[in-house]
Structure 1
Amino acid sequence: MRLHFKPLIATSCFSVFFNIVLLISIFGCESDPINEDSSNIVNNVINFEGDLEISDFVWKSLNQYYFWQNEVPKLSDSISADLQNYEEFILKNKDPEVFFDNLLHPDDKFSFIEKNYSDLENLIQGVVASNGVEFGLLFACNNCRQLIGYVKYILPGSDASEKDIKRGDLFSGVNGIQLKIDNYRELLFNDNLDYTLNMVSINNGVFVNNGKDVSLSKKENLEINPILINQVLNLENTKVGYLLYNQFVADKSPQLNQIFGDFKNNEIDDLIIDLRYNGGGSVKNCIELASMITGQFQDQVFVQEQWNSKMTESLTLDNGDEYFLDRFISTLSDGETINSLYLNRVFILTSSESASASELLINGLKPFIEVIHIGERTVGKNLASITLYDYVKKFIVDVGVEEIKNPDHTYALQPIVLKIANKDGFSDYSEGLEPDYNIKESILDFGVLGDIEEPLLSFAISLINGKETKFTLKNSTIPLNKVKDPLMISRQGMFLDKNTVPFLIN
């Protein structure tokens, strides 16, 4: 990346595009083919090569867009004020991934750098390599290193959907090796497409091998439909819509709208949104879902964005204050009218893994309608990220100068760039949103998702019927200490997706 400088101000042509995932372009002049790590200064232009070019991209990106930019000394504008000092600074940080991590604020648990932006794009759109078993992990006993896996649900159309494995099943090993806290990542989250789960059962509170093995194969680029279940429950004197939604994906809005059209045609009285396994996703999709649930608040402010001072100034200059306000809407981006239910209350189910856009839906709706929150305290991610690509200018015959993703590397960044508050300005839930009814799932009593006897759904129905039941889990000596799921953590994002006119930042 070639960057032009003026005293105190970097004048490399930063071009910002807010597209499907708010694609942000940072580009300079056309880059030369990548060579070994090097740099040189010619006519006030720094030419970085190799990994140094990527490190330069990392610093310039975070210096402009990172939410905590003014609180991180290494991201201070003074670093780039002197050309030679800046060159020396980048030369000391040749590893872009280590450099990225060293530039993050201590409170930042969510920003990350991705070596291959295609993998990042697939993750955001729900396209992954998967065998279809969505699972969690627990410690098998107190003060031990052994783990037990439990199946949350099976993805339709996956390899697992054709095998003898279902929600609530348990496993203790992979390929004959006992799962432990120090080997589960290697066994379950490596690049191998095939593995065999060694299953166990519970006998008098003890995990016992049952002799059953389930061989599974991951399908590459499996597109996961985040709408796992949608149905109308015809209960005594009432109709209830139930939606189990596992990721906010922008291009699923038309399908969601069709489901809400069915809810509307069935004249449902109440709605249950199940976000227990939803780590977040598209802000735009969240706003659309909120508008489907309601409808009576069209054009009113749903949530407010809080950027760093640099971006606030630039975005205000180019777009005005309205840019920071995300409002309820009446149509999808393709012009289709939203099927709104005009509800005055909604029941939302969560777990300790519900995050980001899931929390945004709860927090955003609370000033407008009654939100009955059932389940566990959520993650506490009140921050949103954007995808940053390194763009360069390239001359194309018969076309002219175009901006293309830098052919010298495939890195992209997903940094936190803003905090989101509801219309009352409330955004203080970094420790999670507390439910109105604190209920945990139990591996002894998982139930069948979508079945009215499934514990959390059953409890929500009892509230709707005005017959609140005392919720008790089956007695168990088995600890419920969860192990953080790396795959679920990677899905716990809130991605801003807006359309706006590109603007230049000098």
Structure 2
Amino acid sequence: MKQLRYIFIALALVACSNDDNGVGLPDNPNPDPDADVVVQDFMWQAMNLWYFWQGDVPDLADDIYPTVGEYTDFLASESDPAAFFDNKLRFADDRFSFYGDDYTELTQSLAGISRNNGMEFGLIQFDGSSNIFGYVRYILPNSDAATKDISRGELFTGVNGVTMTLDNYRDLLFGDNATYTLNMADIQGNDVVPNGKEVTLTKEDNFQEDPVYLTEVFENIGGETVGYLMYNGFTNEFDRELNDAFGFFVSRGVTELILDLRYNSGGSVNSSRLLSSMIYGTKTDQVYVEQQWNDKIQEAFTDDDPDALKDFFASAVASGVPINTLNLNRVYILTTRSTASASELVINGLDPYISVIKIGTTTRGKNEFSLTMVDDPGRPGAPFIYTPEREGDINSENSWAIQPLVGRNKNSVGFFDYTDGFAPDIELQEDLENLGVLGDPNEPLLARALQQISGISAKRFIAPSMPAEPFTHNKLFLPMKDNMVLDKKIQLPERLLQARQ
């Protein structure tokens, strides 16, 4: 049985140096110690080693700045680390790499922890206007919003009495204010009009969302027992809860599955592997996905373990608990433009093995994975990659973190090119005038999937007169955004580590 394994990266490309900066620069010196370029130096070193497009960015070339003065001047060319990252290091086609000045906030976001009032929402622009309005997608249990008179499908046009526009919505909804009052609205004809209702919400620090949002079972749908799972984030701290949901499905004799990923913007690669194993089976000799790195890392992998880059379907979650699997030969997945990264990885990873029927609208098209990196060049085995056990070793003078794209996952037949997203097999947009109740068999997307399973076309689905087509949504303003994070163990070979001492 093949397990998720360590990656041994034979990085002959990393110079064996006698300096104390951990990984060192391939041919460049350390910067002038009196220069205020600590953050920029960390960014350059990490990106030079790991960035997927390292070979395509001239300023990331190994030997481009051969003297202390040249390298220091380059690092100091942008006094703002954010500008340095964007202007000097980011590849032009890179849509998703980002950074933050507080690595704690970033790593908590990966665990589903954020400053949150519990209202999940999308934002839509009025035609021909800079004004925008929001609509409630769902309310998180045990949150402040769960105690208020607000629910899925409601609309709002203002905050604290101020009409929302493209220029002010960030400050109104995502600013430092913990509490704000929404000015609610109704649909009247083809317009959205304030209705006088107000709802005050307060963000709670360190709120953790359970991504396993809904589980339902529908009996005798065309002779099948259908499970429905709404899963809203690939958060590895909740893998046990996800497995328990499938244990419930197994106990009920589920023979078909509707997986609702319409609002799932991604997260853990390993959680996607576990979810796919729960759907398809614990076939640990079959490849789920295979990593593709930048050219110099890819070329440096040793030939003694040809499976080092591959992730196989799993038989247990991290705690050792056996996976509850349905062993299905098809799955129905509900999608929207908010379906991204690890959600799309499930679609791509399962596609060679079973029929994946997509219902909804085209997905985001995010096929690269990332790693969280901090100023810890001396981390054994994997310089710069964040691990909580080494927080005491992170440079105390540098709290910045970067989340660069470092590779792509291809499926077992080598496919990875879905940057335009996955188009639905059955197209159906969400309708602001009829969003429905999540988990209710009459909710349009769920109803369409149930109809497909039953084979009975009694209900007619028409294009909505007011489609829910947000230009953004609140999860994109969390520190982790819609990133797909490779949480696979990565370690340099011991012989290279010894050579660098």
- Normalising by structure 2, report the TM-score: 0.88
Indicate if the aligned counterparts of 1:163 and 1:214 stay in contact, CA closer than 8 A. yes
Structure 1 vs Structure 2: percent identity of aligned residues? 42
The amino acid that maps onto 2:165 is K
Give 1:318 deviation, angstroms: 9.3
Indicate if the aligned counterparts of 2:430 and 2:468 stay in contact, CA closer than 8 A. no
- Per the alignment, residue 418 of structure 1 pairs with 407
What pairs up with 1:335-354 in 2 under 5 angstroms?
Answer: 335-354=320-339
Of 437, 458, 476, which aligns to 1:488?
476
Quick one: distance in 1 between partners of 2:263 and 2:18? 41
Deviations along 1:377-404, whole A, 9 cap, x unmatched? 001001000011112669xxxxxx9970
Report the CA distance shift for 1:295/1:487 in structure 2 as closer, same or farther (over 3 A). closer
Indicate if the aligned counterparts of 2:431 and 2:464 stay in contact, CA closer than 8 A. no
Quick one: distance in 2 between partners of 1:434 and 1:474? 16
The amino acid that maps onto 1:484 is T
Indicate if the aligned counterparts of 1:51 and 1:96 stay in contact, CA closer than 8 A. no
Quick one: distance in 2 between partners of 1:495 and 1:273? 21
- Per the alignment, residue 364 of structure 2 pairs with 379
Give 1:344 deviation, angstroms: 0.5
Deviations along 1:265-289, whole A, 9 cap, x unmatched? 1111101110000000000000001
Indicate the SS of the match to 1:432: coil
- Per the alignment, residue 273 of structure 1 pairs with 259
Indicate the SS of the match to 2:334: strand
Give 1:180 deviation, angstroms: 0.9
- Per the alignment, residue 48 of structure 1 pairs with 33
Quick one: distance in 2 between partners of 1:350 and 1:306? 26
Quick one: distance in 1 between partners of 2:247 and 2:440? 22
Report the CA distance shift for 1:389/1:447 in structure 2 as closer, same or farther (over 3 A). same
The amino acid that maps onto 1:65 is W
- Per the alignment, residue 488 of structure 2 pairs with 498
The amino acid that maps onto 1:482 is P
Give 1:353 deviation, angstroms: 1.0
Report the CA distance shift for 1:235/1:376 in structure 2 as closer, same or farther (over 3 A). same
Indicate the SS of the match to 1:144: coil
What pairs up with 1:350-499 in 2 under 5 angstroms?
Answer: 350-391=335-376, 404-468=393-457, 471-473=460-462, 476=465, 478=466, 480-485=468-473, 487-488=475-476, 490-499=480-489
Of 100, 103, 115, which aligns to 1:117?
103
- Per the alignment, residue 297 of structure 1 pairs with 283
Indicate if the aligned counterparts of 1:392 and 1:404 stay in contact, CA closer than 8 A. no
Quick one: distance in 2 between partners of 1:13 and 1:276? 51
Quick one: distance in 1 between partners of 2:265 and 2:165? 25
Deviations along 1:452-505, whole A, 9 cap, x unmatched? 0000000000011112456534763x4655322363265211000112445557
Report the CA distance shift for 1:473/1:404 in structure 2 as closer, same or farther (over 3 A). same
The amino acid that maps onto 1:408 is E
Report the CA distance shift for 1:453/1:337 in structure 2 as closer, same or farther (over 3 A). same
- Per the alignment, residue 262 of structure 1 pairs with 248
Report the CA distance shift for 1:64/1:257 in structure 2 as closer, same or farther (over 3 A). same
- Per the alignment, residue 157 of structure 1 pairs with 142
Indicate if the aligned counterparts of 1:393 and 1:402 stay in contact, CA closer than 8 A. no
- Per the alignment, residue 129 of structure 2 pairs with 144
Indicate if the aligned counterparts of 1:13 and 1:27 stay in contact, CA closer than 8 A. no
- Normalising by structure 1, report the TM-score: 0.87
Report the CA distance shift for 1:456/1:179 in structure 2 as closer, same or farther (over 3 A). same
Indicate if the aligned counterparts of 1:442 and 1:473 stay in contact, CA closer than 8 A. no
Give 1:28 deviation, angstroms: 6.9
Deviations along 1:135-181, whole A, 9 cap, x unmatched? 111123x2111111100000111111010000000011000000111
Give 1:298 deviation, angstroms: 2.7
The amino acid that maps onto 1:247 is G
What pairs up with 1:89-108 in 2 under 5 angstroms?
Answer: 89-102=74-87, 103-108=89-94
Report the CA distance shift for 1:479/1:297 in structure 2 as closer, same or farther (over 3 A). closer
1:179 and 2:164 aligned? yes
Report the CA distance shift for 1:343/1:349 in structure 2 as closer, same or farther (over 3 A). same
Indicate if the aligned counterparts of 1:385 and 1:416 stay in contact, CA closer than 8 A. yes
Indicate if the aligned counterparts of 2:430 and 2:464 stay in contact, CA closer than 8 A. no
- Per the alignment, residue 225 of structure 1 pairs with 210
Quick one: distance in 2 between partners of 1:370 and 1:402? 44
Quick one: distance in 2 between partners of 1:70 and 1:493? 22
The amino acid that maps onto 2:219 is N
The amino acid that maps onto 1:159 is D
Report the CA distance shift for 1:201/1:319 in structure 2 as closer, same or farther (over 3 A). farther
Give the unaligned 5+ runs of structure 2: 1-12, 380-389
Indicate the SS of the match to 2:299: helix
Indicate if the aligned counterparts of 1:146 and 1:179 stay in contact, CA closer than 8 A. yes
Of 117, 123, 143, which aligns to 1:131?
117
- Per the alignment, residue 86 of structure 1 pairs with 71
Give 1:208 deviation, angstroms: 2.2
Report the CA distance shift for 1:223/1:12 in structure 2 as closer, same or farther (over 3 A). farther
Report the CA distance shift for 1:59/1:175 in structure 2 as closer, same or farther (over 3 A). same
Report the CA distance shift for 1:50/1:486 in structure 2 as closer, same or farther (over 3 A). farther
Quick one: distance in 1 between partners of 2:123 and 2:391? 48
Give 1:206 deviation, angstroms: 2.6
Give 1:65 deviation, angstroms: 0.5
1:321 and 2:306 aligned? yes
Indicate the SS of the match to 2:417: coil
Quick one: distance in 1 between partners of 2:454 and 2:114? 40
Corresponding residue pairs, total: 466
The amino acid that maps onto 1:428 is D
Give 1:362 deviation, angstroms: 0.3
Indicate if the aligned counterparts of 2:293 and 2:406 stay in contact, CA closer than 8 A. yes
Give 1:438 deviation, angstroms: 1.1
The amino acid that maps onto 1:277 is Y
Report the CA distance shift for 1:176/1:318 in structure 2 as closer, same or farther (over 3 A). farther
Report the CA distance shift for 1:344/1:402 in structure 2 as closer, same or farther (over 3 A). closer
Quick one: distance in 1 between partners of 2:331 and 2:467? 32
Indicate if the aligned counterparts of 1:264 and 1:339 stay in contact, CA closer than 8 A. yes
- Per the alignment, residue 77 of structure 1 pairs with 62
Report the CA distance shift for 1:9/1:232 in structure 2 as closer, same or farther (over 3 A). closer
